[in-house]
Amino acid sequence: MITVLKRFFLPFVSLLALMFVILNLDNLTDLFAQFITSTPTVVVQPVNEYQKSTSFLFVQETSDYIPLSKGDIKNIFYTIVNNGWDEFTFYCPNEYIDCLSDVKEISQDQDLLTHLNNFVHPYNGFSNVKTEISETGEITVYIQYFYNVDQIRQINQEVDRLYAELTNESMDDYTKILTIHDYIINHTKYDVERNDNGDSIYHSYLAYGPLFEGYATCNGYTDAMTLFLEKMNIPNFKVAMTPDDASSSEGHVWNAVYLNGTWYHLDLTWDDPVSTDGMDYLQHKYFLITTEQLEEVDSSGEVKVTEHQFKKNIYVELK
């Protein structure tokens, strides 16, 4: 009797299952297609303590890691660096046909990456970016940073010490910036050797150089000033020179500072000129000036300065 029931019951159940599949074929097909085409989950790690929350016009922090345009990819790269992540993986969605080629283009655009680097905290500034691109749409970005943990610890202690020594609560922000500007210049010489030969015994390209060794290139001056601006919670970013000639090896960087509702230029390098008489000079020609004033100063005098060319479609705040 049991054998007979099995003989009729099993085909009956199979027939019901088949009818269910037929009646729900559209829904099952959609579910399967969604499973096949869905973008994998992105794992987001906590940000580090040096993440900037300031919103800029050219690039913005994002929490949407599914890009649908070049602008989205640019913001993802910026967010990775700005958050201090060593490694991050995101995915190209199927509907973004040119996603992989756009990621490749952006990841190989050293000028663009340099500009993105200027909008992050110095400690989150990268020395190298490596991008692995899979044909399946998986993108993994690896970041190497300029500053190591020991350098950060030493520099932070020195910045805290100097800030407490040089400033007080009675000073307004303008006076504090002026005091720090003058201190850095009075205790720093431009590292001519690194500029001329590409190498030096000093860490002059980092804030460590001016704060501990007394030597800096424009990167060192700018990073050191940035750290004090960050401590004061003053919005800022770095500005990179963009030569007219793309093959030019020239480069320069300085600070942009937001104070009392206006964005200003602040260039410690040019306020600490290299002299031919061996004397140390302190100037204020490039201290918190507008773009119009910057262009006027550059074009006046015996020396015509050409190092402040910058892309106004990137550093939009300084237009």
Q: Tell me: the pLDDT tens digits for 12-21?
A: 445 455 555 4
pLDDT digits (tens, 9 = 90+) for 230-262: 999 999 999 999 876 544 557 899 999 999 999
d(CA 135, CA 252): 38
pLDDT at 1 (0 to 100): 47
Q: Look over the chain and give the mean of its residue pLDDT values, rounded to a whole number.
A: 89
Question: Does the pLDDT value for residue 117 go beyond 60?
Answer: yes
Q: In terms of C-beta density within 10 A (0-12 exposed, 13-18 middle, 19 or more buried), how is residue 163 classed?
A: middle
pLDDT of residue 249: 54
pLDDT tens, residue by residue, 153-207: 999 999 999 999 999 999 999 999 999 999 999 999 999 999 888 899 999 999 9
Cα 251 to Cα 243: distance, rounded to the nearest angstrom: 8
Which residue ranges make up each domain of the chain? Answer: 70-145, 149-318
**E strand segments, 121-214:** 126-133, 138-145, 189-190
Please give the Cα distance from 252 to 160 (Å, whole number).
Answer: 27
The pLDDT tens digits for 281-307 are 899 999 999 999 999 999 997 778 999
Whether the predicted pLDDT of 266 surpasses 80: yes
On whether the CB atoms of residues 225 and 206 are closer than 8 A, the answer is: no
Sign of the Cα pseudo-torsion (33, 37, 43, 49, in order): negative
Which overall architecture, per CATH, does domain 149-318 show? Roll (3.10)
Provide the whole-model pTM. 0.85
168: buried, middle or exposed (CB in 10 Å: 19+, 13-18, 0-12)? Answer: exposed
Residue with more model confidence, 89 or 2 = 89
Phi and psi based region of residue 217 (left: phi greater than 0; alpha: psi -120 to 50; beta: remaining): beta
40 forms beta bridges with none
Q: What is the pLDDT of residue 302?
A: 76
Question: Residue 34: which pLDDT band, with cuts at 50, 70 and 90?
Answer: very low
Which region among 38-47, 139-148, 257-266 has the lowest average model confidence (pLDDT)?
Answer: 38-47
pLDDT of 279: 74
Percent of the chain, pLDDT > 70?
Answer: 84
* 216 within 8 A of 204, measured Cβ to Cβ: yes
The pLDDT score that the predictor gives to residue 38 is 58
- Return d(Cα 97, Cα 185) in angstroms, integer: 52
Query: Cβ of 138: how many Cβ atoms within 10 Å?
Result: 14
Alpha-carbon distance 74 to 276, whole Å? Answer: 44
Tokens of 147: 């500053």
Task: Estimate to the nearest angstrom the gap between the alpha carbon of 33 and the chain centroid.
Answer: 38
Give the integer Cα–Cα distance in Å for 54 and 119.
9
Average pLDDT over residues 125-135: 96
Give the helix, strand, coil percentages of the chain, each rounded to 5. Answer: 45, 15, 45
